[in-house]
């Protein structure tokens, strides 16, 4: 079972334009999609679509439309009761696939709410194979909340994956000596933020990205899946490093593509696939998601790992 934790979930509204976005102009809207989202929520939705058991821990009113939508999609939701609904995030997509995101901060999180979220995770940890801590933290949450939860779960049989950014990512990296997750999934910008490298260089040069990711493995992280946008992704663990190139994709919306990539890797792990095969499945899921509107999660029949090209990289442990 994959247990997901989304501390700052969102109702994702995607506005698709019929032409390029022009600041100050009046635009015609081709379509509007509203979907329950947030990184962990997206992974639980991918689980449900693939028939993988999942539970999603979220702060939300138990009968909120957000929760009801997820349940209708087959996701087992464990809402930690709050009095306000999740935030609303707005995404604007252009015909060429360019994506503009307007993310709201979300409601303030009290210490009591954060304690309740942590306790909900700890109570369910023994039943999980993977625990995914994903997304931003709400206002009021300490930056080290994920790092502290990783340490709290160290004795659990479940493996922990983390996908976050900004201050929570910096705190997680700073705390790797105390407790390191089994998996981290940064993108090029996030990887650059704590390695002192240039995000554009990492996205363009898989060898450089793998070398940067190797610093996390050297610090105790089990596996690093670094997504590189249209250049695919690299996977680094203690046995080697690999780069996967996606098949040609007509990009519709990149929102949620990284979440789908992370799920693809987790699915490959559950299927006991090799690292290179897990990477191929991750990139296939991510490219399939990029070809769908909004935060739509691809079905397994839409995912083509056989069209992904994987090669070994020369990056070595300590290199």
Does residue 266 belong to any structural domain of this protein? yes
| Total domains present in the chain | 1
Which residues carry out catalysis?
259
Q: What is the pLDDT of residues 151-188, one digit of tens each?
A: 999 999 999 999 999 999 999 999 999 999 999 999 99
Does residue 318 belong to any structural domain of this protein? no
pTM summary value: 0.92
CATH number at residue 248: 3.40.1190.20
The percent of the chain in helix, strand and coil, each rounded to the nearest 5, is 40, 25, 40
pLDDT category of residue 315 using cuts at 50, 70 and 90: low
Q: What is the pLDDT of residues 220-256, one digit of tens each?
A: 999 999 999 889 999 999 999 999 999 988 888 888 8
Does residue 228 belong to any structural domain of this protein? yes
Would the pLDDT of 319 be above 60?
Answer: no
Q: What is the pLDDT of residues 109-148, one digit of tens each?
A: 999 999 999 999 999 999 999 999 999 999 999 999 999 9
Nearest of 316, 312, 311, 284 to residue 300 by alpha carbon: 284
Does residue 108 belong to any structural domain of this protein? yes
3-state class of 156 per DSSP? coil
Which domain does 135 fall in, by range? 2-19+29-312
Q: What is the mean pLDDT of the chain?
A: 93
State the average pLDDT over residues 286-297: 89
């Amino acid at each position: 079972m994959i247990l997901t934790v989304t501390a700052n979930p969102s109702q994702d509204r995607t506005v698709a334009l019929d032409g390029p976005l022009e600041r100050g102009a009046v635009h015609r809207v081709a379509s509007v999609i509203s979907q329950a989202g947030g990184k962990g929520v997206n992974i639980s939705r991918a689980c449900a679509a693939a028939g993988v058991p999942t539970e999603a821990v979220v702060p939300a009113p138990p009968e909120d439309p957000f929760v009801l939508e997820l349940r209708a999609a087959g996701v087992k939701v464990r809402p930690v009761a709050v009095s306000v609904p999740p935030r609303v995030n707005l995404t604007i997509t252009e015909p060429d696939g360019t994506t503009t995101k307007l993310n709201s901060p979300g409601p303030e999180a009290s210490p009591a709410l954060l304690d309740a979220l942590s306790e909900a995770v700890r109570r369910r940890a023994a039943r999980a194979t993977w625990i995914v801590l994903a997304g931003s933290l709400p206002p009021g949450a300490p930056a080290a909340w994920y790092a502290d939860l990783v340490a709290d779960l160290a004795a659990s049989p479940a493996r922990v994956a983390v996908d976050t950014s900004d201050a929570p990512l910096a705190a997680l990296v700073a705390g790797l000596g105390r407790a390191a997750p089994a998996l981290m999934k940064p993108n090029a910008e996030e990887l650059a933020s704590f390695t002192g490298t240039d995000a554009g260089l990492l996205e363009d040069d898989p060898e450089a990205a793998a070398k940067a990711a190797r610093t996390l493995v050297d610090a105790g992280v089990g596996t690093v899946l670094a997504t590189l946008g249209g250049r695919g992704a690299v996977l680094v663990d203690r046995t080697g490093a690999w780069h996967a190139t996606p098949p040609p994709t007509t990009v519709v919306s990149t929102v949620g593509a990284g979440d789908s990539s992370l799920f693809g890797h987790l699915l490959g792990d559950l299927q006991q696939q090799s690292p290179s095969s897990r990477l191929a499945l991750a990139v296939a899921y991510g490219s399939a998601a990029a070809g769908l509107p909004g935060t739509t999660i691809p079905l397994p029949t839409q995912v083509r790992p056989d069209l992904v090209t994987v090669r070994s990289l020369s990056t070595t442990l300590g290199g």
